[in-house]
Structure 1
Amino acid sequence: MPTDARATAAAILPLVGGPANVTSVACCMTRLRLGLADPSLVDEPALRALPGVLGLVVADGTYQVVLGPGVVTRVTAAFEELAARPAAVAPPTRSTGERPAARGAELREARRRRNATPVKTGLRRVAAVFVPLIPALIGCGVLAGVGGLLTNAGLLPGLTPALAAVASAFMALIAVFVGVNTAKEFGGTPVLGGAVAAIVVYPGVTKVTAFGVTLSPGQGGVLGALAAALLAAYVERWCRGRVPDALDVLLTPTVTVLVAGLATLYGLMYAAGAVSSAIGTAADRLLETTGAFAGLVLGGLFLPLVMLGLHQALIPIHTTLIDQQGSTALLPILAMAGAGQVGASLAVYVRLRHDTSLRTTIRSALPAGLLGVGEPLIYGVSLPLGRPFLTACVGGAAGGAFVGFFAMLGNQVGATAIGPSGWALFPLLSGTQGWGPAFGVYAGGLLTGYAVGFAVTYLFGVTDRVRGADRSAGS
């Protein structure tokens, strides 16, 4: 474990209330996600000021410490190790003299509970099901792209079938992994969730008829698996409170699999299949008829979703499209938001030539931004300055409109996996007219996002106040 990762974790832990205050630890590609027993114990100013902390997002009671790609994995491992140790001292408490502050914290918590609507909470929990699958989606997607290129070029014919098997096996059984994660997230036994979700991809479902239609393996896809495992979790929890302890080990799993399994075969697979087909049809029709406008809106709004951590709620849609069509046409458009962010940051770098600290931040965060990880630039550059965040959204909207326009012309670009963005998405591209045209459209979208984000930020994104502070810093 690198020393700096352990030091960062050790610095974060007391600022979030110590080990006794941490109820859950998880991470995504860039963020350390913490569940806290008492969020009011967090020292937010000190946490934001820590070296290596790029930002802090509070969403539905989960504290998300933005650390950046790569480093977040090491810090999370160190944090989990430290948080699991018995606390040397008691966690911070409020004294009688702190009653006004305590009352303020209670009011903030009450407001948070009002804002934690069932829809937002549900989206966050569904996202938690799919986030752990992203590494496998990335790895298999890259291998699928490499295999496709080798096949098209007629190279290594003896290797391409093996690559296809390695890349496709996970997607063939992704429903099982979704089931395991769903049961884990919603309080069920993971293996029971996986067992019920496995019905969705079992070849024997062809012998079952529901609503007058013979079922087919994979019908309903990941949405069917999600619904099946969710039902299994609720059935299992219902059984736990009613079955005698002596019979629990026998009856609870049997009833869970039976009830959820039959419901999956005679309802959920059919319904989820209809929803999955509707998602695919709607995405195709949206891009074919209003591609430029749709790209403008999607590319322009994605950065705020990333800032709020709500972009993870799109993962089930991406996964459904990949499972159903082999690629998601939405991801290349959404990736344009990162291009606008890069262009805006470059403009700030040029305009504020005396701000050594900010320029150093941009230089260090730019490589990640070019690879599609925009959070270091968001929290380190554009969001603190204010207006550059809005002009970056304009750049993303322009890039999205560019990609969407070509979709209207019949050259729809898709991604065979989710996770990477920016330059890192090139190996995962596919298109209705082949990889070459898809490469060209996506590259054109990135260049458009860079150029528009730079130009709009250079002209309108840096205020007189910021420029005055820059000159003062250089004098």
Structure 2
Amino acid sequence: MATEDKNRATAAAILPLVGGAANVSSIAHCMTRLRLGLHDRSLVQDDALKAVPAVMGVVDDDTYQIVLGPGTVARVTPEFEKLVEEGRASAPEPATTVTAEELASQGAEMKAARKAKNATPFKLFLRRIANIFVPLIPALIGCGIIAGLNGLLVNLGWLTSVTPALAAMASGFMALIAVFVGYNTAKEFGGTPILGGAVAAIIVFPGVANIEAFGQKLSPGQGGVLGALGAAVLAVYVEKWCRRWVPEALDVLVTPTLTVLISGLVTIFGLMYVAGEVSTAIGTFADWLLSNGGAGAGLVLGGFFLPLVMLGLHQALIPIHTTLIEQQGYTVLLPILAMAGAGQVGAAIAVFFRLPRNESIRRTIKSALPAGFLGVGEPLIYGVSLPLGRPFITACVGGAFGGAFVGFFNQLGDAVGSTAIGPSGWALFPLLDGNHGLGATIAIYAGGLVVGYLAGFVATYFFGFSKDLLTEFNVSQEPAASPATAAGTPAPVTGPDPLEKTPAGV
């Protein structure tokens, strides 16, 4: 009960700081962030939000995102939804209507201005792809950990009567993941979700083994998540076409029938083969890349992942990760990309030592480091390295060295992979898998983290500050809105915020 009270208290602290229930148009959450659609962005009190103890930081994107961390966000969101519903129900009817119209008008103008400046068709498409796959991450994590536990028990020869049940739990979701992808795809693209799932289900149906296409027998699961995504998108367009041309009296019978029939035939006699070839090519290329240029590939992937995240382009990797997990049981890319977080942690520790008199920044680092070690990088990125400038670049250097380390062992034939996507840092240990035993896999990944920490620290300590920047920031200050608030630690109001200035050493 105490935990529920704590989560409700967090939700209650957040709600008035985002403009109250009347200002909230939509509520969702991902692995670490509470994502809110807001009518009027100007009503949000950013600094006060960052000072809420459970809040690690905020990100103003297509939605307003409040970083709460894994586990916490899944518990706070339902409480927040209840409070919003209660607030709307208790608000006076006339005032609610008028206020909502005014806020919607102002919010629409601000949102349109931001979208015109920042949004591109490609990034919007990638967000849609992320919206399809992100809801699947909790199941991937749960099933991945069960798969790891089952593998450990099998290797040790323990609980042999239980391991078949664990194998079924771990494999059941992956066997039907195409159905969930189809369902989410249709929902995201404006179709009927269950029709998207129905068409995608064809891909995993055992009976397709009796069908021949392009001169060869199909196999259940051929095309995987990519085929399911394509099939569901096609189903959405067929359904929308039917809605325009089929008479309303016949719509309930004709539209779903034609949607499944047309999309299903195209899937069976086209998409499954094409998507299967693409999926195979992705797996082959990933194996080739790390087998032949593992250290170099790891250097590039680990070094550029943080900028990809900042630009939102990392979302393009989600279907690739899922395809590799579906094909090989794990993705060899994620442990390398996770090294970017290690570089970030090492850089933050170096900043801590380089700025011994700036208590506000040091307090931010101390409060954000535990989350950073567990793979939650937003507090360190937005509260420390990015505002300072150079430390963000040196953090990327640390990620590059850590990625090169893991990639080098992949090049030697020791594949290091993750059975799920989402976690990184220390939180990835329970999800690790490879081709040379769990002990070797864990040792290589841990070694990569250590290399990333050390490289990020050394690069930042010696090259992360110019003389002017070091002089400017290495002062004893207690700012009113220091980056400490980005990690959820309020700072006393005694002076200006040094991070509001443009770093001179970038």
Asked if these proteins are the same fold (TM beyond 0.5), I'd say yes
Secondary structure of the residue that 2:477 maps to in structure 1?
helix
- In structure 2, the partner of 1:75 is 76
In structure 2, distance between residues paired with 1:367 and 1:280: 34
Q: Which stretch shows the higher mean deviation, 150-159 or 30-39?
A: 30-39
State the TM-score, normalized to the length of structure 1: 0.90
1:473 partnered with 2:474? no
Alignment of 1:56-71 (within 5 A): 56-59=58-61, 61-71=62-72
Q: Which stretch shows the higher mean deviation, 439-448 or 114-123?
A: 114-123
In structure 2, distance between residues paired with 1:392 and 1:428: 24
How far off is 1:312 after superposition? 3.4
Alignment of 1:423-462 (within 5 A): 423-462=426-465
How far off is 1:431 after superposition? 2.1
Letter in 1 for 2:168: A
1:249 partnered with 2:252? yes
In structure 1, distance between residues paired with 2:38 and 2:280: 39
- In structure 2, the partner of 1:131 is 134
Letter in 2 for 1:35: G
Deviations 1:303-338 (A, max 9, x none): 223344443332111000010111111001001011
Deviations 1:345-400 (A, max 9, x none): 12222233333333333233222211222122222322232222221111011100
Alignment of 1:31-70 (within 5 A): 31-37=33-39, 47=49, 52-59=54-61, 61-70=62-71
- What is the root-mean-square deviation in Å for CA atoms of aligned residues? 2.8
Check 1:394–1:162 CA distance in 2 against 1; reply closer, same or farther (3 A cut).
same
- In structure 1, the partner of 2:504 is none
Deviations 1:157-185 (A, max 9, x none): 22222211111111111111111111221
Alignment of 1:290-301 (within 5 A): 290-301=293-304
Q: Is the 2:7–2:75 contact (alpha carbons within 8 Å) kept by the matching residues of 1?
A: yes
How far off is 1:12 after superposition? 4.1
How far off is 1:233 after superposition? 1.9
The runs of at least 4 aligned residues of structure 1 exceeding 6 Å deviation read 92-95
Letter in 1 for 2:73: V
How far off is 1:67 after superposition? 2.4
1:330 partnered with 2:333? yes
Q: Which stretch shows the higher mean deviation, 258-267 or 77-86?
A: 77-86
How far off is 1:428 after superposition? 1.9
In structure 2, distance between residues paired with 1:84 and 1:457: 47
Q: Give me the identity figure in percent.
A: 68
Deviations 1:27-85 (A, max 9, x none): 111112233456566565665565544333344x3332222222222332233223335
Is there any run of 5+ residues in structure 1 with no aligned partner, and where?
A: none
1:216 partnered with 2:230? no
How far off is 1:454 after superposition? 1.1
Q: Is the 1:400–1:445 contact (alpha carbons within 8 Å) kept by the matching residues of 2?
A: yes
Secondary structure of the residue that 1:354 maps to in structure 2?
coil
In structure 1, distance between residues paired with 2:82 and 2:366: 32
Q: Is the 2:344–2:381 contact (alpha carbons within 8 Å) kept by the matching residues of 1?
A: yes
Q: Is the 1:207–1:214 contact (alpha carbons within 8 Å) kept by the matching residues of 2?
A: yes
- In structure 1, the partner of 2:397 is 394
- In structure 2, the partner of 1:374 is 377
Letter in 2 for 1:459: F
In structure 1, distance between residues paired with 2:427 and 2:70: 13
Secondary structure of the residue that 2:347 maps to in structure 1?
helix
In structure 2, distance between residues paired with 1:284 and 1:401: 15
Q: Is the 1:124–1:310 contact (alpha carbons within 8 Å) kept by the matching residues of 2?
A: no
In structure 2, distance between residues paired with 1:248 and 1:93: 35
Deviations 1:119-148 (A, max 9, x none): 211110111111111111001111111111
In structure 2, distance between residues paired with 1:304 and 1:47: 26
Check 1:310–1:218 CA distance in 2 against 1; reply closer, same or farther (3 A cut).
same
Letter in 1 for 2:203: V
In structure 2, distance between residues paired with 1:337 and 1:163: 33
Check 1:242–1:20 CA distance in 2 against 1; reply closer, same or farther (3 A cut).
farther
**1:263 maps to which of 259, 262, 266:** 266
Letter in 2 for 1:331: L
Check 1:216–1:4 CA distance in 2 against 1; reply closer, same or farther (3 A cut).
same
Deviations 1:89-110 (A, max 9, x none): 5447879xxx9xx79x958834
Q: Is the 2:358–2:476 contact (alpha carbons within 8 Å) kept by the matching residues of 1?
A: no
Letter in 2 for 1:65: I
Secondary structure of the residue that 2:245 maps to in structure 1?
coil
In structure 2, distance between residues paired with 1:329 and 1:403: 10
Is there any run of 5+ residues in structure 2 with no aligned partner, and where?
A: 479-493, 495-506
How far off is 1:268 after superposition? 0.9
Q: Is the 2:123–2:312 contact (alpha carbons within 8 Å) kept by the matching residues of 1?
A: no
- In structure 2, the partner of 1:26 is 28
Q: Is the 2:338–2:424 contact (alpha carbons within 8 Å) kept by the matching residues of 1?
A: yes
How far off is 1:4 after superposition? 4.8
In structure 1, distance between residues paired with 2:239 and 2:102: 40
Letter in 2 for 1:472: S
Q: Is the 1:41–1:92 contact (alpha carbons within 8 Å) kept by the matching residues of 2?
A: no
In structure 1, distance between residues paired with 2:282 and 2:259: 29
State the TM-score, normalized to the length of structure 2: 0.85
Letter in 2 for 1:32: L
- In structure 1, the partner of 2:275 is 272
Check 1:18–1:92 CA distance in 2 against 1; reply closer, same or farther (3 A cut).
farther
Matched residues, number = 468
How far off is 1:468 after superposition? 4.7
Q: Which stretch shows the higher mean deviation, 114-123 or 312-321?
A: 114-123
1:142 partnered with 2:152? no
Check 1:340–1:433 CA distance in 2 against 1; reply closer, same or farther (3 A cut).
same
Check 1:159–1:174 CA distance in 2 against 1; reply closer, same or farther (3 A cut).
same
